[in-house]
Structure 1
Amino acid sequence: MIPRKAAIIDMGTNTFHLLLVNLHAGDFTTIYKEKIAVKIGQGGISNNTITQEAKKRAFHTLQHFKNLIDGEGIREIFAFATSAVRSAENGSQFVTEIKEKFNIEVQVIDGLQEAQLIYEGIRFSGSLSAENHLMMDIGGGSVEFIIGNEQESLWKQSFEIGGQRLLDLFHYHDPILPEEISNLTLFLEEKLTDLLDAINTFSPTGLVGASGTFDTLSDIYYASQQIKKAKTEQTFLLPRVGFELIAEQLLNLNKSERLKIPGMIPMRVDMIVVASCLITYILKHVAVDTLTCSNFALKEGVIAQLIGKNSLEGASLN
C-alpha cells in the first residue's frame, strides 16, 4: 500500500518549521524536516503588525518549502500560523496573499487550539505518565501552558508573553541587567496569575518543555556532559541543577560569548536569555529535580490528529 504523504508547516513567530512525513496506521516516518528563523514578529509584534521585511522573509521561506513539498509530490498540506499572525492587524491579508501566491491554506489557530496541539505532540512523544505535569512551549509571540497527564489535558491557556515580546520589553542591554530581570519577573507575576491558580489546583509533579528553547537547553547540557543525543529519542532529561548553571551563564554573557557555548544555535542566542528567566520563574512554583525536554510539539500534535492518536478535543484540522 502506498503510504499517505503529508506536509506540516508551523509558521511560528520566530521560526517556520517544515515537516514532510509518510503517515502509517498509528505512526509516521519523517521524509524531511527543516526549520528557518523567519522572525515574522521582529520589528512589528509590539505594534500588532507584520512588517514588509518580515513578510518578504516569510514568502521567501514559503517558496522554498513549497518547492520541497512539490518535489515530493505531496498534495496534503497542513499550515498553521500562531501568535504573530493572529495578533497582527494585517494578519488576514498576509494569509490571503499566501493562498494567492503559493496555494497554501493557512489556518490561524487561537491560543487554546495551539495549546491542545502542543499537548498532543508532547503526549505522542511519550514524555507523560499517570501523574500531572505542567507542560510549556515558549514561542516568539506566546507561551502555552498545559497541565495534564498521559490520559488528558486538565487545563490549558496561552499567554502573549513569548520570547520576542519579552525581548522587546525588557532586554535592552547585553548582558541583560539585573533590573531588567527584576522588571521581567514582576511582569510575569502580573501576567501569570491564572497559571499559578491552576498549579495550586492540579498540583503538577513534573515539568515538560516542548521543542525550541528546551531543545537548545538540552543540547547545551548534553554537550557540557560530552553525551551525544540519540537521534531516535524524542525525550531528553535536563537536571534542574544543570539548567540553573546554564541559565546563570546565559544571563552573564554577551551575545558573542553565548554563541561560543557548545550546543548553542544562532537562531536562539537572543531569545534564550529571556526564555531562561521565564523557566527560572516557573521553577519557583513547580518543585522538580529534572526538566523533561520533548522534541515533539505542535507539528507532531497535528500528526497525532492525522493518524487518529488523540481525542480530537479543542483543536481540529478542518
Structure 2
Amino acid sequence: MSHVFAAIDIGTNSIRLAVVRIEDDNHITTLAQHREMVRLGEGEFATHRMTPEAIARGALVCARFADVARGFGADEIVAFATAAVREAENREEFIERVRREAGIEVRVISGPEEARLIWLGVSSGIELGSNRALLIDIGGGSTEVIVGTSEGYEVLESMKLGAIRLSNLFFDTPDPISPELFAKVQAHVRAVANPVARRVQQAGFDIVLGSAGTINCLGQVVANYTGHAEASPRPTPSPSLRGGITFRTADLRQVVKLLCRLPLEERRQVPGMDPTRADIILGGAAILLTFLEQVEAERITTSERGLREGILVDHLLRQEGTREQFQALSVRRRSILQLARACNYEADHAHHTAFLALRLFDELHQLGEHTYGNTSRELLEYAAILHDIGTFLSHSNHQRHAYYIIRNSDLLGFDDTEIDIIANVALYHRKGIPKKKHPNMADLNREERRRVRVLAALLRVAEGLDRSHLGLVRDIRLRREESPRRFILTLISDAECELEVWGVQNNSDLFEYVFKAPLVAEVVHPNSIELASSAPTSASGAESPGAVPDRSPEA
C-alpha cells in the first residue's frame, strides 16, 4: 500500500517542502515542492537568539507547509532544522511555536548529520563512477564539506561559516565593499576553514560539487558574466549531472571583484542574480572562493539537490528491505525505471525488447560491425525500456510522445547529450532514418548522430522480434555471409513466430541502411542451440576507442 511522506527542511535562509508518494515497490512520485525565504537566522549570530519576527515568520511558513502536506494526504511529516535553530539560545521557543501552530515536531540536527544528509541527497542524484568528489554546501549559517565516493563518505565536516552569518557580521551595508574588507573576510574564512581544508587535501578528490542556493546563484552569475561556464557539463572526469553549471575558480574571482564594486541595488540587477540573495551573496562568495583556493580546486559543478532530497532518501532507506534494493540499482537505472513506471509502461515487453536489443548489440560487436562500448550499450537498454512510454498519452505517433517525455524529464545521472541520444533512439524505433536536418538531431555532433542511427537500427529490429508482445523469441543468433554480403538472424523459439519474422522483415530498413546488407530471419528450436542469459545486463564503463563502422554516409 502506498503512503505519502513530507519533508520540511528548516534552513537559516529558506524553508523547503517536498511531498512524495512512495509505492509498495519504492517508486517515488513527487506531489509538491515549495520554497519560502524566511531569513530565520537574520540578526541571530551576533546575539545567539532568534528574533521574535524570525520565529513568527518561520512558524507561519511551517504551518502553511504542513497544511499543504496534509492536503496531499501525508501520513508522516518530518521537519529538520539546521544552523539557525541549532545555535539559538531560544530555540525551544521556536520549536514550541511550530508544534502549536503547525502540529509537527521539529528535529534539530547536528552539523555532521546535516552534512551526511546533504551528501545522501546530492550523491543519490549523480553517477560518480570511480570519482572521489568534494561536495561544498553553503547555507545561511553553516557550510558543510564532504568527501566521498559511490561507496559513501570519507570526510564529513560542518563549519560555522554561512552566507547570512558572514554578511550580517561584515557586509551589513548597501554600499560597495572595499577590497580591503573582502580580504579581511577571506582571512576570517581561512582561519575557520584551515583544519577542514587540510583534511580535504589529505583525502584527495577528482571533482568538486556545490549545492544550496548560494552556490547555484553564483554559478548563474558566473555563467552570464563570463560565458566560460558550461550548462549541463560533461567534464572529464566528471559525474553525469544534468542541469548543473560548471565554472572556474578564476572566473568566480573576477565576478566577486565585480560584485564588490556594486552597491546593493545594482547588485540585484546583475544577470543571473537572484535579487532576494543579493544582500548575502558576498558572504557566500567569500566562503566559496576562499575554500576553493585553499584546496586548490580549479572548477566546481553545481547541483540543485541537497538536504531536502537527503531527508527523502534517508527515509526511503529506513524502510524494511529497501536499502539493498536501492543500493543495487545505479542512479541512472533508478531514474529510468521511475519514469517508465510513471508512464505505466508494459514492463514485460519493454524489458524483453531491451534484452533482444542488447543481444543484437553483442552479436554485431563480435562480428566487428561496431566498436561501441558499455556506455552505448547502456543507453540502448534504457531507450528500449522507454521506447513505448508515449502510449501513455496516445498510441498514434507514440514514438514522438516518447521522445518529448524523455527529453523533458529530469533523468538523474545523465547529461543532456545522453538524454538526447536515448530520446532519439526511442523516437526512431518505428520508422524514419535519423538525419542531420531533423530538428531533434540539431544538438548532436556527427559521431553522436551516427550512434543514434546504429542504436535505433538495433532497437527497431528488437521491437519486431517481440511483435506479438508475448516474449516468444527466447534468444537470437546473428551471422554474416559474404558474396553476397547478408546477415542471417536466427530466432530461437518454441513457436513458429510468424508475426515476429514478419516484424523483423518490416523493421529491417534502418538496419540494412546502416550495415549495408540485407537482413534475413529464420526460426530454430531452442533444443538445437545454447541460449544466452535471459536477463539483460549493462555496465557503465567508457566507450571503446576507435572508429565506429557505421557505414551509412552522413545525412
TM-score for the superposition, normalised by structure 2? 0.52
User: What's the secondary structure of 1:293's corresponding residue?
Assistant: strand
- Displacement of 1:244 after TM fit? 3.5
Deviations 1:141-184 (A, max 9, x none): 11111111221110111111111110122114422221221211
Contact 1:221 1:238 in 2 (8 A): no
AA aligned to 2:189 is: L
Contact 2:12 2:141 in 1 (8 A): yes
AA aligned to 1:60 is: L
Choose the corresponding residue for 1:237, options 213, 237, 245: 245
Residue 268 of structure 2 is matched in structure 1 by 259
User: What's the secondary structure of 2:39's corresponding residue?
Assistant: coil
AA aligned to 1:44 is: E
The 2-side partners of 1:228 and 1:183 are apart by 31
Residue 177 of structure 1 is matched in structure 2 by 178
Contact 1:125 1:234 in 2 (8 A): no
Deviations 1:79-117 (A, max 9, x none): 000111111111123212211222101100000100000
Between structures 1 and 2, the one with greater strand share = 1
Deviates more, 1:6-15 or 1:88-97: 88-97
- Displacement of 1:54 after TM fit? 0.6
Contact 1:137 1:143 in 2 (8 A): yes
The 1-side partners of 2:130 and 2:49 are apart by 42
Contact 1:137 1:211 in 2 (8 A): yes
Higher relative contact order (CA 8 A, sep 6+): 1
The 2-side partners of 1:210 and 1:150 are apart by 17
Where in structure 2 are the equivalents of 1:140-159 lying within 5 Å?
140-159=140-159
Contact 1:146 1:157 in 2 (8 A): yes
The structure with the larger Rg is 2
- Displacement of 1:267 after TM fit? 2.4
Unaligned runs of 5+ in 1: 312-318
Contact 1:127 1:235 in 2 (8 A): no
Unaligned runs of 5+ in 2: 233-240, 325-555
Deviations 1:18-50 (A, max 9, x none): 111223445533212111110111122321111
Deviates more, 1:217-226 or 1:62-71: 217-226
The 2-side partners of 1:124 and 1:36 are apart by 24
User: What's the secondary structure of 2:202's corresponding residue?
Assistant: helix
The question of 1:49 aligning with 2:49 is answered yes
Contact 1:304 1:310 in 2 (8 A): no
> Residue 288 and residue 226 in structure 1: after superposition, are their counterparts in 2 closer, same or farther (change >3 A)?
closer
> Residue 238 and residue 72 in structure 1: after superposition, are their counterparts in 2 closer, same or farther (change >3 A)?
same
AA aligned to 2:130 is: A
The 1-side partners of 2:131 and 2:118 are apart by 18
- Displacement of 1:127 after TM fit? 5.9
Residue 33 of structure 1 is matched in structure 2 by 33
The 2-side partners of 1:94 and 1:178 are apart by 38
Contact 2:193 2:291 in 1 (8 A): no
Where in structure 2 are the equivalents of 1:72-91 lying within 5 Å?
72-91=72-91
AA aligned to 2:157 is: Q
> Residue 149 and residue 28 in structure 1: after superposition, are their counterparts in 2 closer, same or farther (change >3 A)?
same
Residue 215 of structure 2 is matched in structure 1 by 214
Residue 63 of structure 1 is matched in structure 2 by 63
> Residue 226 and residue 169 in structure 1: after superposition, are their counterparts in 2 closer, same or farther (change >3 A)?
closer
- Displacement of 1:205 after TM fit? 2.6
> Residue 16 and residue 166 in structure 1: after superposition, are their counterparts in 2 closer, same or farther (change >3 A)?
same
TM-score for the superposition, normalised by structure 1? 0.89
> Residue 175 and residue 99 in structure 1: after superposition, are their counterparts in 2 closer, same or farther (change >3 A)?
same
User: What's the secondary structure of 1:154's corresponding residue?
Assistant: strand
Residue 278 of structure 1 is matched in structure 2 by 287
> Residue 223 and residue 186 in structure 1: after superposition, are their counterparts in 2 closer, same or farther (change >3 A)?
closer
The 1-side partners of 2:267 and 2:118 are apart by 28
